[in-house]
Structure 1
Amino acid sequence: MTKFLLAVHVIAAIVAIGPVTVAASMFPPAARKVLEGSDDSSALATTRLLHRICQVYAVVGVVVPVFGFATASDMGVLGDTWLIVSIVLTALAAVLLAALVLPRQSAILEGADQGGTIDRAATVRLAMFTGIFNLLWATVTVLMIIRPGSTTGA
Structure 2
Amino acid sequence: MALGSSESSKELAQDKPAIALVAHDACKKDLVEWARFNRGTLSAFTLYATGTTGARLEAETGLKVRRLLSGPYGGDAQIGALVSEKRVCCLIFFWDPLTPQPHDVDVKALLRLAVLHNIPTACNRATADFLISSPLLKRLIADPNG
TM-score w.r.t. the length of structure 1 is 0.26
Larger-gyration structure (1/2): 1
Higher relative strand content? 2
Output the TM-score relative to the length of structure 2: 0.27
Q: Which structure's residues are more often helix, by fraction?
A: 1
Higher relative contact order (CA 8 A, sep 6+): 1
